[in-house]
Amino acid sequence: MKPGIPVSVIGIIMFVVGLVFFYSIELGQTDPVLRFVKNMGTFVGLSGMGVALAGILLYLINKNEPPIKENYDV
| CA 73 from centroid of its chain's CA atoms | 47
Please state, in angstroms and rounded to a whole number, the distance separating the CA atoms of residues 1 and 71: 33
Domain ranges of the chain: 4-61
What pLDDT is recorded for position 43?
96
Q: Does pLDDT of 1 surpass 80?
A: no
Instruction: Give tens-digit pLDDT for 15-70.
Output: 999 999 999 888 877 888 988 999 999 999 999 999 999 999 999 998 887 777 77
Please state, in angstroms and rounded to a whole number, the distance separating the CA atoms of residues 22 and 17: 9
Per-residue confidence at 74, pLDDT binned at 50, 70, 90?
A: low
pTM score, two decimals?
A: 0.78
Query: Residues 26, 29, 33, 39: what is their CA dihedral angle, to the nearest 10 degrees?
Result: 60
What Å distances lie between residue 65 and 6, 8, 35, 69, 72, CA to CA? Answer: 21, 21, 48, 12, 21
What pLDDT is recorded for position 51?
96
